[in-house]
Amino acid sequence: MTEARRILGIDTSCDDTGVGIVELAPDGQVRVLANRVWSQTVHAQYGGVMPELASREHVERIDDILQEALKEAGLALTDLHAVAATSGPGLVGALLVGLMYGKGLAQALGVPFYSAHHLEGHIFAAASEALLQTPYLALVVSGGHTHLFDVPAPGRYDLVGATRDDAAGEAFDKIARLAGLGYPGGPAISEAAQRGDPGSVPFKEPLQGQQGFDFSFSGLKTAALLAHRGGATPENLAASFQQAAVKFLVKTTVRAARALGRRTVVVSGGVAANAALREAFQQTGLNVVFPGKGLNTDNGAMIALAGAAALQAEKAPSPLTVGAEAYAPLANT
């Protein structure tokens, strides 16, 4: 292939309507040309995502977000060479909107369609910064996942650790709510933590002494509840919880990297936007790769990047019969 190709990516797995466009150069380099996300606000009044409302809002917004993305990239629909959309995991009704839209668009344009795994998208979000070279470890920390994968070769994902209860982002969200800091909790905790004392609330390290590389946040959540009832200020609670969560995530990942002999670690997903987490990882001496700005939380560009990787690897397009899957383990692709 001697020409650059442009791939459209769509993610509607939860409460963000994301459309992104990337350019794949003949040498395999990728560049994000557009990344537009509509973050649904309709759920705030319920304190959590209402699946049916999410689906409806995706339907209402997706046309506009696509037009915005094309405008940002300075492209027309006919400039696209492939379309990728998330098929899972996520909310089935929400996933279906982007998946069907993507298939229809690919069919109408006569270009290949690729279904993408949401977590692979999160991992590939880091490919916008540095071309990923296997082997590496990938820590995906989001509102729905805390998964640690060993990636020994392209498309091979060996799960080496996962949360036993809440996801990391979920813990940030729940503790922020408890402390009255608002939603989404990650950015709220991070902001409040700057004004708090990280040593003021003692948090016990979860799963101390484990041989494996699992995660757990329920103990931190209970400790936060007790501290809140005991009169800890929101700022002190935020600073102390953030420090404990960051320490635990970094320590477990570094242990896994040593055990598996990996030097490169990709950290992605919404929680990877956390400044304290980034700083702690940067001090580990490992080669740590984070997604670029706007690519940590759910977005369409990361799905376009997954599509670009499929194109580059000359994978066969997905059949248009592919369906949405609520639970889809990231198996070897």
Instruction: Summarize as ranges the residues that interact with ligand KG4 (CB under 6 A).
Output: 14, 142-144, 169-170, 172-173, 184-187, 190, 269-271, 273-274, 297-298
Distance in angstroms (rounded) separating the CA atoms of residues 113 and 10: 11
Structure token digits, residue 299: 């977005």
Our CB check for Zn ion shows the closer of 105 and 302 to be 302
Q: Which does 184 bind (CB under 5 to 8 A by kind): ligand KG4, Zn ion, none?
A: ligand KG4
Q: How far is the CB of 123 from ligand KG4 (least distance, A)?
A: 12
Our CB check for ligand KG4 shows the closer of 23 and 203 to be 203
Our CB check for Zn ion shows the closer of 298 and 325 to be 298
3-state secondary structure of 165: coil
Q: Are 10 and 303 in contact (CB under 8 A)?
A: yes
Q: How far is the CB of 292 from ligand KG4 (least distance, A)?
A: 14
Q: Which does 190 bind (CB under 5 to 8 A by kind): ligand KG4, Zn ion, none?
A: ligand KG4
* Residue 231 falls in which region: left (phi positive, over 0), alpha (psi -120 to 50) or beta: left
What are the phi and psi torsion angles at 187 (to 5°)? -60, -35
| Size, binding site for Zn ion by CB under 5 A | 2
Task: Encode 173-193 in three state secondary structure.
Answer: HHHHHHCCCCCCHHHHHHHHH
Distance in angstroms (rounded) separating the CA atoms of residues 304 and 35: 10
Question: Looking at 298, 300, 308, 310, which residue binds Zn ion (CB under 5 A)?
Answer: 298
Question: Looking at 35, 87, 142, 236, which residue binds Zn ion (CB under 5 A)?
Answer: 142
Stretch that binds Zn ion, among 71-79, 125-133, 142-150, 181-189 (CB under 5 A): 142-150
Q: How far is the CB of 115 from Zn ion (least distance, A)?
A: 16
Q: Which residue is nearest to ligand KG4 (CB)?
A: 186
Residue type, 190: S
Residue type, 188: A
Environment class of 4 (CB within 10 Å of its CB; exposed 0-12, middle 13-18, buried 19+): middle
Our CB check for ligand KG4 shows the closer of 257 and 273 to be 273
Beginning with the edge strand found earlier in the chain, give each strand of the sheet holding 287-289 in spatial order: 158-162, 146-151, 136-141, 264-268, 287-289
Largest CA distance in the chain: 65
Our CB check for ligand KG4 shows the closer of 106 and 167 to be 167
All residues at 6 or more sequence positions from 76 whose CB lies less than 8 Å from its CB, including other chains: 70
Q: How far is the CB of 140 from Zn ion (least distance, A)?
A: 8
Our CB check for ligand KG4 shows the closer of 96 and 106 to be 96
Which residues are at the interface with Zn ion (CB under 5 A)?
Answer: 142, 298
